Amino acid sequence: MKYDYGDEVLLRTADGNGNSVLRQCEVVGITLVENENQAANFNNAIGTVLYTIEFGDGSDALVPEAKLQSP
């Protein structure tokens, strides 16, 4: 796992115009996809590390590690 609880990270997303933007957030949870049931539920392959991230406004998201980068 590349990030740990409390780490500040950047999430690359698209804005309303389709432009790529970075949003600052914090890691609040870490989930490893370990079996077929999880893979189906999370729609990610076994072995994928998913991070629950929280934004400054209190909203959150569950995203794969590949969508995050260090600030």
Give the pLDDT of residue 65: 95
Geometric angle at alpha carbon 15, from 59 and 11, rounded to 5°:
55
Q: Which of 33, 34, 16, 23 is nearest to 67 (CA)?
A: 23
- Could you tell me the residue range of the domain that residue 60 belongs to? 8-69
What confidence tens digit (pLDDT) does each residue in 6-61 have? Answer: 999 999 988 889 898 999 999 999 999 999 999 999 999 999 999 999 999 999 99
Residue 46's CATH number? 2.30.30
Q: Is residue 24 part of a domain?
A: yes
Give the pLDDT of residue 10: 97
Q: Is residue 1 part of a domain?
A: no
